[in-house]
A and B are shown apart, each in its own frame.
Chain A
Amino acid sequence: MTLGLINANPVVHAKKERIARTDDLHCDDNVDPLDIYDILFAIVVAFDLEVGWIHFVRDIRDPEHPYSLEQLSVLSEESITVDEKLGRILITFTPTIQHCSMATVIGLCLRVKLKDCFPPHFKVDIKVAPGSHADEESVNKQLNDKERVAAALENPNLRQLVDECLYSNEL
C-alpha cells in the first residue's frame, strides 16, 4: 500500500552505543537455535530485564523513514516497564508527530517483533505516550484488542508493511 509521506522532516537523533549481543539467530549455523534461545532468555532474566527488551525493540524502523525507532525517539529505554509478578510488559511509544497515522502500524510492528522474540504467555500492553497523539484512546484501544490485531495481521498489505519494517536490515 502506498501512502504519501506524512512526516517529511522527522527529527533524527544519533544512535546510542549498543552493548554487543550474542543473540543473532540468523547468523550462527552451528548451534541449535533452541540452545541460543535458552541462553539468551536466561541472560535477560539474570540481568536487567528492561535493558534486555531494548535490544529487540529499538531496531524496528518507522514505516515511513529508514531510521530506527530509537533514532526517531519513538522508543527509549524508559519506554518499557515490566511487571514480573503479573507477567505483564508495558511498552509506551511516541509517534513522530501528533497525527501520525502510522501509529497503529508502529504498534503492530512492536507486537509482531515481541511475539517473535519472547514466549507467547507474556502479556504485552502497547500504548502511545500520554499526550503524544490526537487519537490516543482510539489507537490504544485498537492496539490492545487482540482480535483486531490478529485480523489486521491477516491483511496481506498490512502484513507486508510490518514485515518490511522488521526484516529489512540495512541501516
Chain B
Amino acid sequence: MNFVDDSVELREVQKLEGHTDRVWGLAWNPATGSAGIPAVLASCSGDKTVRIWQQNPSNGPFQCTAVLEETHTRTVRSCAWSPSGKLLATASFDATTAIWEHSGGDFECVSTLEGHENEVKSVSWNASGSLLATCGRDKSVWIWEVLPGNEFECVSVLQGHAQDVKMVQWHPTVDVLFSCSYDNTVKVWAEDGDSDDWHCVQTLGESNNGHSSTVWALSFNATGDKMVTSSDDLTIKIWGADIIRMQSGGIFAPLPAIMIEQFFQYIGQVFTSEYDREGVIASGAADDAVRLFVESEESKIDGPTYNLLTRKEKAHDMDINSVQWNSA
C-alpha cells in the first residue's frame, strides 16, 4: 500500500485537558459548527463525567463550558447527540443511559433509561431522532422510542449476540440497526413491516469474510452504501451495503452487506473508525496512531480499492479510543 499524497498531514490544533481518567468517546453536536454557530463537542470519560467543549469565538480555541457530573456512578463509555442537537444521550458502566437537555449553558438530566443488567457500552440515535438504541455486556440490544416530554419507551430487547455488544449504530438513511460484538460478529436488525417486531436479518461473521476477533466499532459513509468495521484482529474492513434491497421493505433480502477490502497495517487493536463527508476514513488504534484512508481514484473491475493517505504516529501517548469527524 502506498501513501497517495506525501503532502497530506494531520496537525494537532489543540489538546483539550480536563478529564481525570481516560476519554472513551466523543460526539460533535450536529446542529453546531456552521452558519456562525460555534462547534460544540461532548467527551465522556472513565472519570464518570461528560464534558462539553465549545469553540469560543467561532474560530478560536475550544473551552470547556460544562461538566455533566454526579449522575453516572461509573465510567461513561459513550455519548451521542440527537439529530436536532437538543439532547445528549450518555451510556455508562453503571447500567444506565442518561438523557440530557440543555437550556442556555446548563445541562439537565431529564431522563434515565434503565433495563440493561450491567455495563451499557454504546448509544445511537436514528436519523430522524425518533428511536434510540443501546447495547451492553449483557449481550442485548435495546431499542427505545422517543416520546413527547422527554419520555422513552423500550420497544424491543434484541437477543442474538453470544457475547458483550460493543457498539450500536443506526444506518444513516434507513431505520436499520447495526451492532458489533465481542462475539466477533456484526449483526443487522430490522423491523418487520407489519408486526413492529425487530429481528436479526443478517450476521456478518468469519464465514462471510468477517472479523476473527472482537469487533469494536462500525461506521457508515454519508450515503450509507459503505460501512467500515474496526477489530481486535488488527484489521479494518470495508463493507458494501445494498441500500435498494434494504429499502425494499417487507421481507428483507438476506445479504445487505458484503466485504470489499481489509487492511492489515495495524500493530495494535483497532478501536475506532469513521467516515467523513467525502468518504475519507479515519481510524485509531492501540498503536497510538491515527490513520486516514481514501478510496483510490483508479477504478477497478472488481470494485474499489483504498489507499493510506497519511498516518500520524503517536497522535496520543496511549491508545486511540475514538475518532470523530466534524461534519459541518
Interface residue ranges, A against B (CB under 8 Å): 86, 120-121, 123, 141, 145-148, 150-151, 154
- Bound-state Cα–Cα, A148 to B164, Å: 9
Contact call A154/B166, Cβ cutoff below 8 A: no
* Other-chain contact of A121, B119, B137, B318 (Cβ < 8 Å): B318
Contact call A146/B214, Cβ cutoff below 8 A: no
B40 to A: closest C-beta gap in Å: 26
A121 touching B74 in the complex, CB below 8 Å, given contacts A86-B267, A148-B164, A154-B93: no
17 contacts between A and B (CB under 8 A): A120-B318, A121-B288, A121-B317, A146-B319, A147-B77, A147-B166, A148-B182, A150-B22, A150-B46, A150-B75, A150-B93, A151-B74, A151-B75, A151-B118, A151-B119, A151-B137, A154-B74
A133 to B: closest C-beta gap in Å: 19
Q: What residues on A are CB-neighbors of B22 within 8 Å?
A: 150
Q: What residues on B are CB-neighbors of A141 within 8 Å?
A: 182, 213-214
- Bound-state Cα–Cα, A120 to B232, Å: 20
Q: What residues on B are CB-neighbors of A121 within 8 Å?
A: 288, 317-318
A77 to B: closest C-beta gap in Å: 27
- Bound-state Cα–Cα, A141 to B137, Å: 14
* Pairs of residues from A and B, 10 with the lowest C-beta to C-beta distance, nearest first: A151-B119, A154-B74, A121-B317, A151-B93, A121-B318, A154-B93, A120-B318, A154-B75, A150-B75, A150-B46
Chain B positions 176-207 with a Cβ under 8 Å from a chain A Cβ? 182
- Bound-state Cα–Cα, A121 to B317, Å: 6
- Bound-state Cα–Cα, A154 to B182, Å: 19
- Bound-state Cα–Cα, A147 to B119, Å: 10
**Interface size grouping (class) on chain B:** 20 to 34
Q: What residues on A are CB-neighbors of B214 within 8 Å?
A: 141, 145
Contact call B46/A145, Cβ cutoff below 8 A: no
Say if the beta carbon of B279 comes within 8 Å of chain A. Answer: no
Say if the beta carbon of B121 comes within 8 Å of chain A. Answer: yes
Beyond contacts A121-B318, A141-B213, A145-B182: 18 other A-B pairs, Cβ-Cβ < 8 A, are: A120-B318, A121-B288, A141-B182, A141-B214, A145-B214, A145-B232, A146-B319, A147-B121, A147-B166, A148-B137, A148-B182, A150-B22, A150-B46, A150-B75, A151-B118, A151-B137, A154-B75, A154-B93
Say if the beta carbon of B258 comes within 8 Å of chain A. Answer: no
Chain B positions 202-241 with a Cβ under 8 Å from a chain A Cβ? 213-214, 232
Say if the beta carbon of B268 comes within 8 Å of chain A. Answer: yes
Q: What residues on B are CB-neighbors of A154 within 8 Å?
A: 74-75, 93
- Bound-state Cα–Cα, A137 to B214, Å: 13
Q: Which residue of A lies closest to B77 (CB)?
A: A147
Q: What residues on A are CB-neighbors of B319 within 8 Å?
A: 146
Q: What residues on B are CB-neighbors of A150 within 8 Å?
A: 22, 46, 75, 93
- Bound-state Cα–Cα, A154 to B24, Å: 15
Q: Which residue of A lies closest to B232 (CB)?
A: A145
B1 to A: closest C-beta gap in Å: 20
Q: Which residue of B lies closest to A122 (CB)?
A: B318
A154 to B: closest C-beta gap in Å: 5
B150 to A: closest C-beta gap in Å: 28
Contact call B268/A123, Cβ cutoff below 8 A: yes
- Bound-state Cα–Cα, A123 to B288, Å: 10
- Bound-state Cα–Cα, A31 to B182, Å: 46
Say if the beta carbon of B286 comes within 8 Å of chain A. Answer: yes
Q: What residues on B are CB-neighbors of A151 within 8 Å?
A: 74-75, 93, 118-119, 137
B161 to A: closest C-beta gap in Å: 15
- Bound-state Cα–Cα, A6 to B46, Å: 34
A112 to B: closest C-beta gap in Å: 14
Q: Which residue of A lies closest to B121 (CB)?
A: A147
Of A120, A123, A145, A151, most B-chain CB atoms within 10 Å? A151
- Bound-state Cα–Cα, A121 to B77, Å: 21
Contact call B119/A123, Cβ cutoff below 8 A: no
Q: Which residue of B lies closest to A148 (CB)?
A: B164
Q: Which residue of A lies closest to B268 (CB)?
A: A123
Q: What residues on A are CB-neighbors of B46 within 8 Å?
A: 150
